[in-house]
Amino acid sequence: MHLTTSFRRLEIRRISCVAVLFLALVFFLPSTALAGKLQGTVIGRKGDLKKYVRISLVGRESKTTFTDNKGIFTLDAPDGRYGLSISEKGNEQTFEVEIPGRLRFQVDW
């Protein structure tokens, strides 16, 4: 019986180690693993695609990127509501956005 008891204790320890490892993985995953995505296109007043303008996400997680040569940008951040600032050469406009989302932004310049 002593051998059976030792075996059970070993099994319980093994199960406990697996449970602790599982919980550690669940609670300590980086926030990017749970990130949403905002994709957008920035279009100027005349319908032109706004190339290389600065896009800043403001909220519980701040990020900055730039549009590409087609006026397109992508930002990864946790789902939720944010402020979005689009700026170029002294011009700036802000929008309220929700992630995940796919939007077109019309700017006044």
Whole-prediction pTM value? 0.68
Summarised one tens digit per residue, pLDDT across range 66-95 is: 999 999 999 999 999 999 999 999 999 999
Any idea how long the chain is? 109
- Looking at domain 31-106, does it have CATH number 2.40.30.10? no
| pLDDT tens figures, 23-80 | 555 555 554 445 799 999 999 999 999 999 999 999 888 999 999 999 999 999 999 9
Give domain limits for the chain: 31-106
